[in-house]
Amino acid sequence: MPTLRIALAQVNSTVGDIAGNTAEIRRWSQAASEAGAHLVAFPEMMLTGYPIEDLVFRNSFVDASRRALRSLAADLAADGLGELAVVVGYVDADGPAAISSDATPGSGRRDASALLYRGEVVATYFKHHLPNYGVFDEDRYFEPGDALTVVRLGGVDVALTVCEDIWQAGGPFTAARRAGVGLVVNINASPYELNKDDVRLPLVQRRAAEAGATVAYVNMIGGQDELVFDGDSMIVGPDGSLLARAGQFTAELLVHDLDLPVAGTTPNQAGSTDAAKPPVEQEIADDMAIHRTVVEADLAALDGRRDGGVADRIADEAEVWAALVMGLRDYVDKNGFRSVVLGLSGGIDSAVVAAIAVDALGPERVTGVSLPSGYSSEHSKDDAADLAKRTGLNYRVEPIQPMVDAFLANLSLSGLAVENLQARVRGVILMALSNADGHLVLTTGNKSELAVGYSTLYGDSVGGFNPLKDVPKTMVWQLARWRNTQGEPPIPENSITKPPSAELRPDQKDSDSLPDYEVLDPIIKGYVDQDLGRAELIAAGNDPALVDRVLRLVDLAEYKRRQSAPGTKISGKAFGRDRRLPITNRFREGAGS
């Protein structure tokens, strides 16, 4: 039984930065080679970044990806890494591409995996199952492959697959069983959701059973716009045993030795069924062709035995915090911002965003601005200053009253218009500081208040990135308490314990306008995240009057957003489902409709 030393490169890539991604591949390939690996696998679309969306329709971009792949193979050989088999994701096209997104099916774009060896692209595989739900739109972008690629490497048959191929029964994994492979390499760009790691392991186990082979699953890390990727790469044996597993949100090379069957010796290849193998969950006909490539390679001798180990799982709060920190850091760094600015109200939301920003970027790249009005309480100002002191961020105070007074003296305004005016003056100041100093403006509204419209358009909603936009208020508190247990507490205790208030009029409290967050959040989750209707929410045990009140608030919030900012919908890409609703929508769930 040959022993293959495999390295899974759980690393980061950046959309469009083909040169940077290529450098990253060469760097980690060097590390894999130094660890004695025979094969290193990189994530899906490593060369181009993921997701590339409509960039796929630009010929110059697809051509750049294809050219870069060939150059990479040559460069790796020039680096002295020719004997290392490198599996890498990229975008391919069937021929000289001349299409646009208006084309009818047949665009010829492929979400592809290639195996590079001795300076050549020796084999390619095109993703077969294309996800088209949640945050995925791959039916728009790609054509599915219909052949499995098997590479014989040092006497072991290795099948190449991509991401969604592992989420659906049938197709490549069934074909891999028929082909009798010893190893299936599955390269991924699988976005983080809370507790997604609990789903992945049983999934990889099912597919290993289906293929009757060891499965090596490698996933990327990093933030890309509203998505965050968490890694969690792993290797699972054909019997479902977890052989090795990487951490979450960590850049690492998971190196593990696998004893794999010699090619041609597995019973499946001869067409017989191996009763000793675990049963396949479902017998699914597959009509995939099998393309075989033989790489003439002697596997280098190994310096003892390498075990990748199984990394500990982390707590929910640690997982979410790590995702928020990574998502913000990558948004800032990949877009080339040097610094961020945010308003500090003394409340919990801006305090948590500031703590995330300082963890992500360091205090010297974060500016917090206290923007007090006549309605700001002393404790708010004190809590903002306390947070600044605890975190060490750059702190300044810009009272807003003179500007507010100028508007009030020249316009006849009352009630809500006056409340919103204060928030908008703050927005103008933050944007002016952004223009002057090049800061990215961070928004601090949590998902609960965004869902019910408890915010001011062009006011506290101003900003280029909002770490909390998919974090419900109850989880904001939970995160704050957890973070304060990790070393020096960054968040003032008073910001956590005091009743939340927008402070846009005297003695204002969130509870004047909203139900308690403990009862509000589950209804928002049901209505916004799970598409439950009124009857279903009541059947789930929520108070009917409360359900009606919250559904009215959410529907009205959609209306308020329409009034002023058509692009502004609630979206939950990082931690939930992408939500795509019509702006004009008269469907009402309320009683009697």
Q: Which of residues 37-66 bind a copy of itself (CB under 8 A)?
A: 49, 51-55, 57-61, 64
- Among 330, 460, 503, 510, the residue binding a copy of itself under the rule CB under 8 A is 330
Single-letter residue type at 213:
A
**Burial (CB count within 10 angstroms: exposed 0-12, middle 13-18, buried 19+), residue 153:** buried
Site for a copy of itself in 431-490 (CB under 8 A): 431-436, 440-441, 457-458, 462-465
Binding segment toward a copy of itself, per CB under 8 A, in 11-19, 149-157, 294-302, 346-354: 11-19
Contacts with a copy of itself by CB under 8 A: the residue count is 106
The whole-angstrom separation of Cα 14 and Cα 10 is: 14
Residue owning tokens 């846009």: 504
Q: Report yes or no: 217 and 236 within 8 Å, Cβ to Cβ.
A: yes
Please, which residue, 430 or 476, has the CB nearer to a copy of itself?
430
At 80 the three-state DSSP class reads: coil
The whole-angstrom separation of Cα 476 and Cα 589 is: 28
Check the annotation: does 529 bind a ligand: no
For the question of residue 281 being annotated catalytic, the response is: no
Site for a copy of itself in 212-251 (CB under 8 A): 224-226
Q: Report yes or no: 86 and 185 within 8 Å, Cβ to Cβ.
A: no
Check the annotation: does 420 bind a ligand: yes
Q: Closest distance between a copy of itself and the C-beta of residue 589, in Å?
A: 6
Site for a copy of itself in 118-137 (CB under 8 A): 132-134, 137
Check the annotation: does 196 bind a ligand: yes
Q: Which of 24, 127, 210, 558 is catalytic?
A: 127
Please, which residue, 27 or 338, has the CB nearer to a copy of itself?
338
The whole-angstrom separation of Cα 19 and Cα 30 is: 17
Check the annotation: does 503 bind a ligand: no
Site for a copy of itself in 139-168 (CB under 8 A): 139-140, 167-168
Region of 447 on the Ramachandran plot (φ > 0 left; ψ -120 to 50 alpha; else beta): alpha
For the question of residue 163 being annotated catalytic, the response is: yes
**C-beta pairs of 509-516 under 8 Å, 24+ apart in sequence:** 510/449, 510/454, 513/454, 514/449, 514/452, 514/454, 514/553, 515/546, 515/549, 515/550
194 binds a copy of itself (CB under 8 A): no
Exposure string over 75-109, b if 16+ CB within 10 A, otherwise e: bbbeeebbebbbbbbbbbbeeebebeeeeeeebbb
Contacts with 246 (C-beta within 8 Å, 6 or more apart), sequence order: 8, 10, 231, 232, 233, 234, 252, 254, 308, 311
Q: Closest distance between a copy of itself and the C-beta of residue 329, in Å?
A: 12
Q: Give whole-number Cα distances, 272 to 87, 176, 278, in Å.
A: 30, 14, 14
Please, which residue, 532 or 553, has the CB nearer to a copy of itself?
532
The whole-angstrom separation of Cα 247 and Cα 408 is: 55
- Cα torsion 593, 576, 452, 564 to 10°: value is -100
Single-letter residue type at 325:
V
Q: Which of 24, 138, 143, 163 is catalytic?
A: 163
For the question of residue 381 being annotated catalytic, the response is: no
Structure token digits, residue 129: 């199952």
**One character per residue 412-431, x = contact with a copy of itself (rule: CB under 8 A):** xxx-xx--xx--xx-xxx-x
Q: Which of 583, 584, 377 is nearest to 495 (CA)?
A: 377
**One character per residue 82-111, x = contact with a copy of itself (rule: CB under 8 A):** ------------------xxxxxx------
Please, which residue, 36 or 399, has the CB nearer to a copy of itself?
399
**One character per residue 505-544, x = contact with a copy of itself (rule: CB under 8 A):** -------------------------xxxxxxx--------
Q: Closest distance between a copy of itself and the C-beta of residue 105, in Å?
A: 8
- Among 3, 17, 397, 548, the residue binding a copy of itself under the rule CB under 8 A is 17
399 binds a copy of itself (CB under 8 A): yes
Site for a copy of itself in 247-286 (CB under 8 A): none
Specify binding-site residues for ATP. 343-350, 444
- Active-site positions read 44, 127, 163
Specify binding-site residues for L-glutamine. 133, 190, 196
Specify binding-site residues. 133, 190, 196, 343-350, 420, 444, 449, 560
